[in-house]
Chain A
Amino acid sequence: MITVVIADDHHVVREGIALVLQQEEDIRVIGQASNGEEAVKMILDSKPDIAILDISMPLLNGIQAAQKIMRGGFGGKLLMLTQYDKEEYVREAIQIGASGYLLKDSIKGDVITAIRKITSGETFFSPSISKLLVDEYFQQLKRKSVAKSLPQLTPRETEVLQLIAEGLSSKQIADKLFLSVRTVDFHRANISQKLGVHDIAGLTKYAIRHGLVKV
């Protein structure tokens, strides 16, 4: 027998899921919660095999509730439920340790599959989410190949740093780059922040060492 707790602030959604699960012989809904705090208490008390958590909930949102549940030593599986197919939610859910991520659009078709898969130790993501995850993965691969160990300066910042190293004042740099002095000072402050170097001598040294100016 697989025990399930459903947390969602919409009564209709909770009832809908419960109705779908009722038709399965070996799945039993042992509790329903309408906000994050209630969900945390209920899940830690009744220790279900599967906790279905909606992300957007009052008092404590699904992400915060999931963090509390995991910290509270929850041994079951987490299935996150959401309206939105946004990578940021998925990323956060995976980091917390959710085993599945289900879009509300596809509850009817997918919820039973999801429960069965994650019960047997696999993960489940709604099809449109899977596509996002694959995209994201490729993006990260691409990014890693260009990542540098140096603090990354934007092209504009590199340009400004070069001119600082050549001994130009903010006013001169502004004139040369057709920028306002305030914009140049904005970039200077960012360069200093990124490199942790706050004087002209240090910035010049950095520029020379990294080949931005010829000595």
Chain B
Amino acid sequence: MYKVSLPAFRKPKVVLSIGFGLLIFLMLLSVVTLILIASALQGDTALILDNYAQSVRIVGQVQTNATYLRLLVRDLITNPDTDRRRSLRQQIDSVLNETTGQFTKTLYVKIQPEEGRSFQGYIKTFDSYADAIRSITDIVIEQHRDSSMALYTEFIQPLRQQLDSSSRTLVATNLHASAVTRDHINSLETEFLQIGVAIAGLSIIISFLIFYYVAQRFRIAEKQRDDLLQLLRERQRKIEQLVVHMSTLEEDQRKRFAQELHDAIGHGLTVAKFHIDSAKAEYDRNKALAAEHLEKSLATIQQSLLETKRISYDMRPTLLDDLGLVAAVNQLITDFERRTGTKVSKDFGTFTGRLRSIVEITVYRIVQEAFINIEKHADAKNVSFQMLVRDEGILVLSITDDGNGFDVGEVVMEGSPHLGLRNILERGELIGGTVLVESRPGKGCEINIEVPIDHVKEVV
């Protein structure tokens, strides 16, 4: 008896889940990195905006200084006190220097072209303004006060206005630029976020689909494995049943054989011995009687010999080994006809080859069992037998009778005392064949057998 065992089927679901989890995690990580980069960019932008704000602040201060300078210049021109004028002159110089210093400070600011131009324009304007103030201051210092006033009115005033408008342009440009930058950054950020979310979403969906697909495949594989296992268990159970049944059958046969051996041979030999003993005893006294005893012992031995041949052929039909299935079955049917007087119409087709010996003996036993059943139970008038081989390599046998028939279900049922039919079914199964039994009480019986024969060997 053998056991069917399959290698343990490891479930890769866990491994796969971890793998895909990792994948999703990486996707998420990339999205997060994207967002971090975007916010860093935003920080940069904040710095730029801050610089602009600073430049605006500087412009404000310059403007204030410009106004202060104008007032100082006016005061310089109108004040008669020489000492006062000298101090005003110093004050003007220091304010001018301080204001120019503001410009150098702002130079590091990264400025975009448009803003840069307006800033340069502003510086130029202030330079002209400063030049004008210096010139006037020089003139005032050289005591040309009247002409100084005229110059002030003619140059400082318009320059001052020019400076104002330039500063306004600069501030406006700055404001506009910062707004544009902020919008740009915002839209960029939004875009980044959208792309990130899209990538993440897509990868999650793809991962899920892959996971679902793989899981589905595994479910199918598992189902197939389970089915296979089920089938194997089923077969194993059947084989076990068969083995048990076969060993029972074998025991029964041994019992029958022992009985027959005893009846046919043992009994025969005992009788023969009795006659020979008697003949020996009578030999000197009564020769005629002794001869009679010898005659009887010879007849008994002859009878035992016949019985022995019958038993031995029954146990192993030598025809099967010597000439094959067709000859053995043909002989079996001829013997049946002779024994029962029932005619069998037989058709052996054209097949004359040899089959694997297990197939030959099994098919032979099936046919034998079928004919024994007919002989014992059917009381049939007509029996037909046919055997043929289909092109696809299937040996086909049909045994049909018009006898008593029976209820197939009842006879085949477990525990039924009629073992013949069950033997036929089990033997057929043993060689991978199909046995179809059709019968109803009073309607005869037909037994149809299909056996795959891939190992046909021709007689040498």
- Residues on A close to B: CB < 8 A? 55-56, 61-64, 83-84, 86-89, 91-92, 105, 152, 154-156, 178-180, 182-183, 186-187, 189-190, 193-194
Contact = CB atoms under 8 A, between A and B. Distances in A.
B222 interface: no
B313 interface: yes
Interface string B426-460: 00000000101010100100101010000000001
Nearest to B446: A156
Contact of B388 (A61, A89, A190): A190
Is chain B's interface secondary structure helix, strand, loop, or mixed overall?
mixed
Contacts of A154: 347, 384, 386, 398, 400
B327 A193 contact: no
A186 B451 CA distance: 12
Contacts of B438: 178-180, 183
Interface string B382-414: 001010101100001010100000000000000
Given A56-B322, A183-B436, A193-B391, A178 B309 contact: no
Contacts of B391: 193
Given A86-B331, A91-B327, 15 more contacts: A55-B318, A61-B322, A63-B322, A83-B309, A84-B319, A88-B328, A89-B319, A89-B322, A105-B305, A154-B384, A186-B396, A186-B436, A186-B448, A189-B396, A193-B388
B321 interface: yes
Query: Could you say which of A64, A179, A193 has the most chain B C-beta atoms within 10 Å of its C-beta?
Result: A193
Contact of A88 (B309, B323, B347): B323
22 contacts: A55-B318, A55-B322, A56-B318, A56-B322, A64-B460, A84-B319, A87-B331, A88-B323, A88-B327, A89-B322, A91-B327, A154-B347, A154-B386, A154-B400, A156-B446, A180-B436, A183-B446, A187-B448, A189-B390, A190-B398, A193-B390, A194-B388
A108 to B, nearest CB: 12
A8 to B, nearest CB: 14
B323 A63 contact: yes
A61 B321 contact: yes
Contacts of A194: 388
Contact of A178 (B388, B396, B436, B443): B443
B87 interface: no
Nearest to A57: B322
A175 to B, nearest CB: 13
B446 A88 contact: no
Contacts of B400: 154, 156
Contacts of A186: 396, 436, 448, 450
**Dominant secondary structure of chain A at its interface with chain B:** helix
Given A56-B318, A63-B323, A156-B400, A84 B436 contact: no
Contacts of B165: none
A178 B309 CA distance: 43
Contacts of A89: 319, 322-323
Nearest to A186: B448
B330 interface: yes
Nearest to B349: A194
B327 A92 contact: yes
A190 B396 contact: yes
Interface string B321-360: 1110001101100100000000000010000000000000
Nearest to A179: B438
B318 A84 contact: yes
A196 B66 CA distance: 121
Contacts of A64: 460
A89 B443 CA distance: 37
